[in-house]
Structure 1
């Protein structure tokens, strides 16, 4: 099993309910975008270029995604590149407007996440493993690709492993 399959199946084990997956199509992009907005304000100029914390996070994330899977990494890079200018625009707003909009988007994104996990009856994956925070966006992309009918063999391997992991989780006693 590849590292990509391992990470996506581990994440998918917390996300087997279709309603939960659908809420993640809204929640995760909102959360990622809000983080871009919040971090796009911090930066410096270097040789005529503005280097923001958001740009650094995009580059680091995409290098990680590219290492996991070339196609998913390239698509993620395109998606991040498409929304980064909007994040920069929002970061250019006055302090109050920037914070209210960025934090508002963040909160709405998390509301969608928790509604989805209500349907799933499972806590979010990152509560057990912080890697889930960076895998979440990749999971949403992979699910979109799968829904379009691409990479079906990968989807089947991930689902098979996720169901096994979920069954193991469900047999463990609840810890309080």
Structure 2
């Protein structure tokens, strides 16, 4: 049960190029949105209180995020994920082709954007070495959003002290 600081530092070591971080602001939300679309079926119940696999996964992930020791980040990532899943659910009610088209299309586009970012980084995605990176990615984006808004300065300082500052990597030099 590692703490958010350690998880975010480990993830940040794979994400120091600002262009890579910027692609994560698009790619990761697209992937979470896609998961919301794809896991919106089947529904247990009807209407706004319908329970889906997406909401079960969200509940479990939220418990995990809220117990990592950074409550503001845990709340932020949980709210952002809930918004993306809710948006994804709105597209899951169409035909099977629409449901799969939106879900798979958004998923693949999100990963394509991620891999473009990692080209700039010169490193493979973090999840290749540790599957928990799939949960940490949305937390990283939420933390970066909080940092950009001036919140969680101590966490940002800890990440930069341990993982280094963000940079614009020279693409003509090896990583």
Q: Distance in 2 between matches of 1:42 and 1:80?
A: 19
Name 1:35's counterpart in structure 2.
35
What's the counterpart of residue 132 of structure 1?
133
CA–CA distance in 2 between the matches of 1:83 and 1:119?
Answer: 26
Residue of structure 1 in register with 2:59 after alignment: 59
What is the Cα-based RMSD across aligned positions, in Å? Answer: 1.9
CA contact (8 A) 2:27 2:114 kept: yes
**Higher helix proportion:** 1
Residue 150 (structure 1) shift: 1.4
Q: CA deviation at 1:78?
A: 2.2
CA distance in 2, matches of 1:84, 1:20: 24
Greater CA drift, 139-148 or 37-46: 37-46
1:168 paired residue number: none
Residue 119 of structure 1 corresponds to 120
**Structure 2: which 5+ runs fail to align?**
166-175
1:25 aligns with 2:22: no
- Indicate yes or no: 2:90 matched with 1:84: no
Aligned pairs for 1:94-109 within 5 A = 94-109=95-110
Greater strand content: 1
Structure 1 unmatched runs, 5+: 165-176
Deviations 1:67-97 (A, max 9, x none): 1122122222322333333222211110001
**Aligned pair in 2 of structure 1 residues 3, 88: CA closer, same or farther (>3 Å)?**
same
The range that moved more, 72-81 or 88-97, is 72-81
Partners of 1:24 and 1:146 in 2: CA distance: 15
Structure 1 window deviating more from structure 2 (110-119 vs 77-86): it is 77-86
CA-CA distance at 1:23 after TM superposition:
0.4
* 1:137-152 aligned within 5 A: 137-152=138-153
Deviation at 1:64, TM superposition (A): 0.7
Single out whichever of 72-81 and 92-101 deviates more from structure 2.
72-81
1:158 Cα deviation from its structure 2 partner? 1.0
